[in-house]
Amino acid sequence: MSFNIALTGLNAVNEQLNTVSNNIANSGTTGFKSSRTEFGSVYADTQAMGVEVLGLTQSISQGGSLVATGRSLDLAISGGGFFTVRASSGEIQYTRAGVFGTDKDNFITSVGGQRLQGYPVDANGNLLVGALGDLQLQTANLPARATDTLAFVSNLDANEAVPAVAFDPAIVDSYNSSYTTKVFDSLGREHTLTQYFVKTADNSWETHFYADGAPVAAPAGAVAVTFDTAGTLTAPVAPVAVSFNAPGANPLNIAIDYTGSSQYGSDFVVTTNLANGYSAGEQTGLAVEKDGRVFANYSNGQRMLQGQVVLASFINPQGLRNENGTAWSETGESGQPLYGTAGVGQFGALAAGALESSNVDLTQELVTLMEGQRNYQANTKVLTTNKELTQVLFNAI
């Protein structure tokens, strides 16, 4: 009986050594989670029968250290959650190994060719939240966009006096303040839109518009800008439509919004001068934010949203089925995945240009290796002793 019991011990320790060897071998594998062999005693009624391996448990919830790589599509999760990837067969897996790249169709893929899942964008660059799908990057150049809105917030100095001469942009004393904004036509060419502010009375001003040094076609004349006695803007309430022609391009029609402007007894200052529109640009790189949003950067300083990486979480991560040490699949014990945005609630933040290292603790593994070696030797000693006792019995007979 002792021979069989020792044999179960040798088999169990051998499986433990296999687990330790696998952990040590994968100490440099990105996103790898170490395993531990779980033992259980075997009894037949009250008779001890030895030991058996109940199974392996993985330290899924224990994260590894983050290592910077500099690659824009290397992603690491700082906290909870898994990346979701889909194989060409439709099989869904979950991983912490964030080594991603692109395939020939510009889909973001793992090293194994599985496509990273997230929220894609529509033709206008709007996120399709709730519609989980393959993330695909756009590689085309960014076409020019004509300026059509301008958010302009300023403070006009209430201490200014009414100019003594009629307005003339060539005469500095004929206006109180001016400000020039860069705008773009449909071909991406730059133009200047200058606003001249002329005080006409207490709390009353006029704004004159000039494009590239010439008066604009619309509005004809000046636009009245008025404030109440507390310095709050009272008119215009709606955006002012300014139009002018650009040779060889579509006419520019710009809506200028003065909401938030004021008139106080302090210097003229512009706090907001935000015009849309830009010239054409070539893609220069990618950037992934902490919340998983993927942007393409362009040479004209613009960036365009390409999609958002979504993370998955499980009620019981230990119930996931281990596929290869760095990837898992859903089971009935794990429960269905809960999807969410990185950095919100139980989901960790994303770190771009970094990877999560293996969480294998080499010191602990070596200690376990030595313990396994001693256990193996002890069970071998039982076999040797059993053999000697049996030999003594035979000699006695």
Does the predicted model carry a pTM greater than 0.85?
no
Confidence at 3, pLDDT banded by 50, 70, 90: confident
pLDDT digits (tens, 9 = 90+) for 71-103: 999 999 999 999 999 998 999 999 999 999 999
DSSP per residue, 120-131: -B-TTS-B-TT-
Q: Rounded to whole angstroms, how far apart are CA atoms 18 and 378?
A: 18
Tell me the domain boundaries of the chain: 2-61+359-396, 66-142+282-356, 149-275
164's CB contacts (< 8 A; 6+ apart) are 173
Amino acid in position 50: G
Q: Which two tokens stand for residue 379?
A: 């069970």
Dump the DSSP string for 153-180: EEEEETTPPPPSS---TT-GGG-SEEEE
Helices 362-396 & 2-25 angle (0-180, nearest 10): 160
Q: Is 101 exposed, middle or buried (0-12, 13-18, 19+ CB in 10 A)?
A: middle
Confidence of residue 185 (pLDDT cuts 50, 70, 90): very high
Question: CA angle at residue 116 from 112 to 118, to 5 degrees?
Answer: 170
Q: Copy the structure tokens of residue 198.
A: 């002329």
| pLDDT 10s digits, 129-174 | 988 999 999 888 999 999 999 999 999 999 999 999 999 999 999 9
AA letter at 60: I
Please state, in angstroms and rounded to a whole number, the distance separating the CA atoms of residues 252 and 249.
9
**For residue 261, which of 197, 210, 193 has the smallest C-alpha distance?**
197
- DSSP tag of 347: S
Task: Return the H-helix or E-strand segment holding 387.
Answer: helix 362-396
- Cβ atoms of 83 and 348 closer than 8 Å: no
Lowest-confidence segment of 258-262, 271-275, 368-372 by average pLDDT = 368-372
- Give the residue carrying structure tokens 């809960």: 338
Closest CA to 198 of 175, 180, 222: 175
- Asked whether 73 and 296 are in contact (CB, 8 A), the reply is no
> Stretch 358-386: mean pLDDT, rounded?
89
Terminal Cα distance for the chain, rounded: 20
The pLDDT score that the predictor gives to residue 217 is 87
H/E run at residue 374? helix 362-396
pLDDT reading at 1 higher than 70: no
Please report, rounded to a whole number, the percentage of residues in the chain having pLDDT higher than 70: 99
Residues 308-362: tens digit of each pLDDT = 999 999 999 999 999 887 999 999 999 999 999 999 988 999 999 999 999 999 9
Only one residue has tokens 């500095």, namely: 172
**Which token pair is 68?**
């910077």
Residue 64 has φ and ψ, to the nearest 5°, of: -95, 170
**Does 394 or 191 have the greater pLDDT score?**
191
Under 8 Å between Cβ of 2 and 383: no
Tokens of 275: 């015009």
Tokens of 232: 């709050």
CATH no. for 149-275? 2.60.98.20
Whole-number pLDDT of residue 25: 94
Tell me what pLDDT residue 179 has: 98
Work out the pLDDT band at 374, boundaries 50, 70, 90. very high
Is residue 16 within 8 Å of 37, Cβ to Cβ?
A: yes
Element (H, E) at 66: strand 66-68
Tokens linked to 357:
């290292």
Would you state the pLDDT for residue 140? 87
The per-residue pLDDT for range 21-68, each reduced to its tens digit, is 999 999 999 999 999 999 998 888 888 888 888 988 888 888 899 999
- Answer yes or no: are the C-beta atoms of 350 and 294 closer than 8 Å: no
Please provide the average confidence, as pLDDT, over all residues in the chain.
Answer: 93
Mean pLDDT of 291-306: 94
